[in-house]
Amino acid sequence: MLPLRDLLMHDLRATWARWKETTFGTSYHIWQEGLDVSVVTELQEEARTSAVAMLHLGRSLGDEHACEALAAMGDLSTLAAMRARLDQGDPPLDPALRVRTALILHQRAPDPQLADHLVAVLGAPWSRRQVDSPRVDAAIGLRRFDGDGDEAALLVAVGDPCYLVRYHACESLLMRWGARRLQITDYPDIFALIRGGDHLELSDAVKAHLDEARERLRELRP
């Protein structure tokens, strides 16, 4: 028979797991769609208080999703802890969580240095065996910043082997520059140069097309 302490921990983990799945969906759903923090950030009064208590339970059990939701709700102790872990990188955050954490922190207290975390994820080596969504999320997230270094990273990403990274890097640049048309498909000549599948290795011909797309995009910069 398990000791009382182990029984209590088992009950707490089971309670948290049931509440988390009821609130946010299954682990597979969260993996596919991301954590929808709006289901807790929009709560009011007693419902919000109850959710915060459950999320603190999840945080105490080491669940990163609980930390993410608490930060989105503005929990000060969680925000401070997440910023410290993000900056220290020990233990390193999963790339997807690193991007989401940086964006949550930036939304609460804008800080241009947080873009460095998105740039690091965006520039990480990629292969078809890896999930590309964190790099796509980083390309999308960088439209919330306006630094020279992260703009340069987006311009590099126009030549990325992954099509979705190229696509969203282009649109982030258009948004940052306040272009009149914000969708890359509204620029057929540029879109024709960046569209296509993913590449394990870029051929010289593809590189030339992507270099030309980058130069044409630069012409749209005010």
Confidence check: pLDDT of 4 > 60: no
- 129: amino acid identity, one letter: R
The total number of structural domains in the chain stands at 2
Residue 6 has pLDDT above 90, yes or no: no
Residue that is written with structure tokens 């873009």 in the block: 115
Give how far Cα 97 sits from Cα of 20, 82, 186, 220, Å.
17, 11, 32, 32
Residue 97 belongs to some domain of the structure: no
Does a structural domain hold residue 110?
no
Q: Which residues of 141-180 are buried (b: 16+ CB within 10 A; e: fewer)?
A: bbbbbeeeebbebbbebbbbbbbebbbbbbbbbbebbebe
Q: Which domain holds residue 206?
A: 121-222
Q: What's the pLDDT tens digit per position in 118-158?
A: 999 999 887 655 557 899 999 999 999 999 999 999 999 99
Does 73 share its domain with 31? yes
- Please indicate, yes or no, whether residues 131 and 38 belong to a single structural domain of this protein: no
Both 163 and 204 in one domain: the answer is yes
Sequence-distant (≥ 6) Cβ neighbours of residue 59 within 8 angstroms: 66, 67, 70, 78
Residues 136 and 80 grouped into a single domain: no
